[in-house]
Amino acid sequence: MPRKKPQASRTQAASKPTAKKKVSKKKASKKSTAKKTGTAASRRQGGLFDSEPTANSDRPKKKTAKKTAKKSIRKSASTGQGDMAIAEKMAAKQKDISVSEFFAKNRHLLGFDSPARALLTTVREAVDNSLDACEEASVLPELIIDVRATESTQHVVTIRDNGPGIVREQLPRIFARLLYGSKFHSRKQTRGQQGIGISAAGMYGTLTTGKPMRVTSRTSRRKPAVELVLAIDMAKNQPVVKKESEVEVEWAHGTEVQIELEGTYKKGKHSIDSFLDQVSLANPHVKIVYSNPIDEEPITWERVSKVLPDPPNEILPHPHGVELGILMQMMKETSSRTVSGFLCTEFCRVTPNVVKKVSDETEGLGKKIDTDRHPKRLSSADVKILHKGIEATRMMAPPTNCLSPIGEELMAKTLRRNFDPELVITVTRQPSVYRGNPFQVEAGIAWGGELPGDDLASIFRFANRVPLQYEQGACAITQSIVGTPWKNYEIQQARGALPTGPLAVLVHIASVWVPFTSESKKAVASYDEILKEMRLAIMEAGRKLAIHLRKKRRLADAERKKDYIKTYIPQIGIALQDILTLSDTQRTKAEGNLSEVLERSRKM
Amino acid sequence: MAKKIAKSYIDRVKRENAKRDKKTITSIENAADEIYKKIMRKGKPMLRFPVRSLSNVSYDKRKGYLEIGKARKERTLTVNTVKGFAQTLRMMGLSRELVQTNDFATKRDVYYQSKNWAEAKFSEQSESDTVMDDIEALFSVDDVSREQLRFVPDEHGGAVAGELVVLDPDLDTGEVERIDCTRFGSGAYSIPSSVEHLSFETKAKFVLAIETGGIFQRLQSHKFWKTADCILVSMAGVPTRSTRRFIRRLSDQIKIPVYAFVDCDPYGISNIYRTLKVGSGNAAHINRFFCVPSASYLGVTPQDIIDYDLPTHPLKDVDIKRAKDALKNDPFFQSKRQWREALEQLLKMGVRAEQQSLAMWGLNYVIETYLPAKLANSKKFLP
């Protein structure tokens, strides 16, 4: 029996040799560092690639597509030459595959896998973009969102913001070209990060309904609004302007996107309603007016703060957070002429003195790296040593003024507005650092009021003010809430479960780079430093909650016992009067004395 | 003439009753008065109960029953005990009222009576039973029994047949009922829940207390009481309080021996017989009234199993545990060498035998052979 197995795998490998070879060849061409590839090495690399989350081993063609996409995302300029003849032959067969086409075939990766999610994803992406745009232009955001059914499974989604608007020339590229944007390259706390979302939504709409998206934008009161009807040329990843016109609108500035798409509207945890409710929790300065196909009246969340959050600063990456591959890339692209200059200009917290220390560290790692060398001339082995040297060198933590937390006071206000609880407790921790990335954790607890008392606590997770609605179980936030000893805080909790009670727990992590468990940004990865900060924030809030609950319980106990005394003392009086044939005055006196004695001794 | 005797008997019963009732009322009033005085001094009133657990029980050979020790627990009136306190006092009031109106109440009656006590009412009968047990223990110190507090058990007493006349005075009419226990035909006299007022006339030589209804029926229908000149009492398992009290008063008044005839297993020995003779372990505060120290054990003994070659069943785990527990913890068995030996013998044999196993040798073997043989040698009875 065991002999059968390797044979089977051999036949499998033989049946699709192209796939296997393409992979190893690709790898070789991507990294100029790749050495002469022995079979073992290529197998290992193939294996590595297979472990990528996007890999899909039964469709070789798609693999190439994904590869291209990945390349574009990383902006990698693969200029290396493979040194195998077969590679050149194969290169002739390989052609550029548009990212648009790739995403058209892999729409689940971006959150369009079910009709219900498609609708939510569209709103999510538009809201993210609008809020980032408004804040960048220092405008207090006001969003008007309208979801309307055209058919039972077809909806028109219209989202308008009061942002700065977008100039005519940029409109097509922003809305109808994938991977175009300003946020991906910056190390700054922003909501959107990849520039995929809104154009993917438009594309999804076109794919499912055949209707192009409509974008209206006005940049100034003095100018009329421009309305474009946009489609995507999927083969070329290029926008196609189908119709262009100037229109009269009643708003002074802002952008409105309208997409018709196949999607189903529903209520519940993963609904648009719930998403917007959560957006309003983490964004006290935002006003949202939202109409949906079911409720007659639009839902409005008024802003509780008229102050924009401090604009997050952009920072240079910290050397401790950089991965080897990225470091190599950066060294290839830098305009600095020495390693020393490169490190000092492209990273924060690096001074010539620090560079010297790094250089000293490399000596102990096998080879002292001369930091006056040109960065492009370092071999990959040298970069590896340099990378290790950086890791080993102690340096200042990155600056943390780049973060913009919600703040204890405003978090409390939004929790009060949304839940009308009896008690709100909020905690904003001091910033901290994981892998060279500054981050900051906040926690808020709403307790009592209308919150259901018998259910598990509601959990609200936020990363850079964006609600996380899926994969709750896999998220560091959930882990840290479950790991909190709620019983110490007078709250029930079954072993290994969320706490039970009239409780809503909000946790927000702000960071220049929030680590997610996957590209779809659904759950925060469990780094030790992050888990620790989250736990500390929740525990601090929990302790404060416990103080309140204990006091409340004490008062209730005292009240109950007082009632208790009032209830039963007359019965003692009646019994004594009965047995001893006391007069009414004697009885009253006895009851009075007894109350006095018990009240006095009642130490609670 | 008979009328005169009846009158004097009724007067005596009335006098005794009046004396007992006065004592009961005095006890209740004293307890209440102590509490009242303490309250008027602005102190915290308290009640002192005997501790009711095996650790506070001892066996006094001279007195012949399991006796409650001197340990007392105090229940002070605090916020947490105020409800229980109120209920205890209300129930004491009820008891006093029952005595005054010459009435009685069963446990269930008391539970329903409490529904008039507003917030002090009981929501479950188990709660009122607990308070009743407390009060009973409280007054047992003053030699006042539950029956004297006019709380009577719901449970039925055992059955009686044989050479006995029970005198039951009717205090209202002044008549004394003469109940002849030989004249129940194939039936039997049923022991009432309160037996304090009864008196007896008999020429019988002994009382035979029988565990099972089956053997009782056989002995009764074959008029064994006539041939053996005795009184038959069916206990139907562990004897109830009134059955125990009935046998006790019988043996006190007419001074005849009481023989127990039960199954030969740890339950028959350590539960039925032990409870009949010295009272129960967890209600030791009442044992002085509810035991028959003069009782002895006729059979079935472990030795009988061998002597009569009886069919047996193996001892169950629970039997073994019970027997070992009796040897280790029960002050009664510990003080009787014969019993220790008998129990050890039983454990060693690892079997048990029922009374009715005698039927193997013939249905009436028990009447014709076993009992006459045993009775001929009453010295050999286990203590």
Q: pLDDT per residue over A375-410, tens digit each? A: 888 888 889 899 989 888 888 888 877 888 899 999
The answer to whether A355 and A343 have CB atoms below 8 angstroms apart is yes
Tell me what pLDDT residue A101 has: 67
What top-level class would CATH report for the domain A107-301? alpha beta
Greatest mean pLDDT among A65-69, A423-427, B307-311 lies in A423-427
* Same fold? B2-43+77-152, B159-380: no
Query: Cα B321–B322–B327 angle (5° rounding)?
Result: 100
Residue A36: predicted pLDDT:
40
Q: Do B39 and A601 touch (CB under 8 A)?
A: no
* pLDDT at position A83: 57
DSSP type of residue B366? I
Fold of A408-549: Ribosomal Protein S5; domain 2 (3.30.230)
B112 an active-site residue? yes
Please choose, from the candidates A508, A426, A419, A425, the residue with its C-alpha nearest in 3D space to the C-alpha of residue A467.
A508
3-state helix, strand, coil in chain A (%, to 5): 45, 15, 40
Alpha helices in B192-282 (DSSP H): 213-221, 224-228, 241-254, 266, 274-278
- pLDDT of residue A16 exceeding 60, the answer is no
Give the best residue of B79, B113, B139 to mutate against chain A (max A CB count within 10 A): B79
Say yes or no for a CB contact (<8 Å) between B117 and A571.
yes
Shortest distance between the Cα of B300 and any Cα of chain A, in A, equals 51
Residue A535 bridge partners (DSSP): none
CA-to-CA dists, residue A507 to A403, B245, B372, angstroms? 16, 73, 90
**The pLDDT value given to residue A283:** 92
Check if B78 contacts A (Cβ < 8 Å). yes
Alpha-carbon gap, residue B43 to A593, rounded angstroms: 9
Over range A169-183, report the average pLDDT.
68
Q: Is the pLDDT of residue A21 over 60?
A: no
The residue extents of the domains of chain A are: 4-96, 107-301, 337-392, 408-549, 554-601
With residue A225 as reference, give the H or E element that holds it: strand A225-233
Greatest Cα-to-Cα distance within chain B, rounded to the nearest angstrom:
75
Instruction: Give the pLDDT confidence score for residue A25 in this predicted structure.
Output: 41
Chain B positions touching A589 (Cβ under 8 A) are: 40
CATH of domain B159-380: 3.40.1360.10
Task: Work out the pLDDT band at A240, boundaries 50, 70, 90.
Answer: confident
Please determine, for the modelled complex, whether the ipTM score is greater than 0.95: no
As a residue count, chain B comes to 383
Which strands make up the sheet holding B175-180, listed edge to edge? B175-180, B165-170, B199-201
Nearest CA in chain B to A564: B79
Q: Which of B33, B36, B118 sits opposite A571 (nearest CB)?
A: B118
Taking the C-alpha atoms of residue A413 and residue A411, their distance in angstroms, rounded to an integer, is 5
So what's the pLDDT on residue A322?
82
- Which is more confident, A518 or B89? B89
The CA distance from A571 to the nearest CA of chain B, in Å, is: 6
Contacts of B40 in chain A (CB under 8 A): 589-590, 593
- Where is A358: in which H helix or E strand? helix A352-364
Reading the block at residue A221, the tokens are 């009161």
A100: pLDDT confidence band, cut at 50, 70 and 90? Answer: low
H-helix or E-strand spanning residue B371: helix B371-375
CA–CA dist A427, A421 (Å, integer): 17
Chain B residue with the nearest C-alpha to that of A589: B40
Judge whether residue A120 has pLDDT over 70.
yes
Instruction: Report pLDDT for A96.
Output: 61
Please give, rounded to a whole number of angstroms, the shortest distance from the CA of A558 to a CA of chain B: 10
Instruction: Using alpha carbons, select from A182, A181, A216 the residue that is nearest to residue A200.
Output: A181
Closest chain A residue by Cα to residue B100: A579
Q: Which amino acid is at B322?
A: R
For helices B82-100 and A528-580, the axis angle rounded to 10 degrees is 20
Task: Report the share of chain B in percent with pLDDT over 90.
Answer: 23
Amino acid at A571: Q
pLDDT band at A189 (very low <50, low <70, confident <90, very high): low
Check whether A530 has a pLDDT greater than 80: yes
Measured distance CA(B171)–CA(B21) in Å, rounded: 15
- Cα(A323)–Cα(A384) distance, rounded to whole angstroms? 10
The verdict on a CB contact (< 8 Å) between A571 and B87 is yes
Fold of B2-43+77-152: Arc Repressor Mutant, subunit A (1.10.10)
* Closest CA relative to residue A382, chosen from A402, A358, A416: A358
B82:A569 CB<8 A: yes
Residue B17: closest CA among B200, B196, B241, B251 = B196
Cis peptide before B238 (omega within 30 of 0): no
The dihedral formed by the CA atoms of A215, A220, A221 and A227, expressed in degrees to the nearest 10: -20
CB distance B93–A578 less than 8 Å? yes
Domain residue ranges in chain B:
2-43+77-152, 159-380
The whole-angstrom separation of Cα B238 and Cα A242 is: 100
Tokens 């028990």 appear where? Answer: B366
- Low-confidence stretches of chain B (pLDDT < 70) are 1-3, 53-54, 282-283, 285
At A294-329, the pLDDT tens digits run 888 999 999 999 988 887 777 888 888 788 888 888
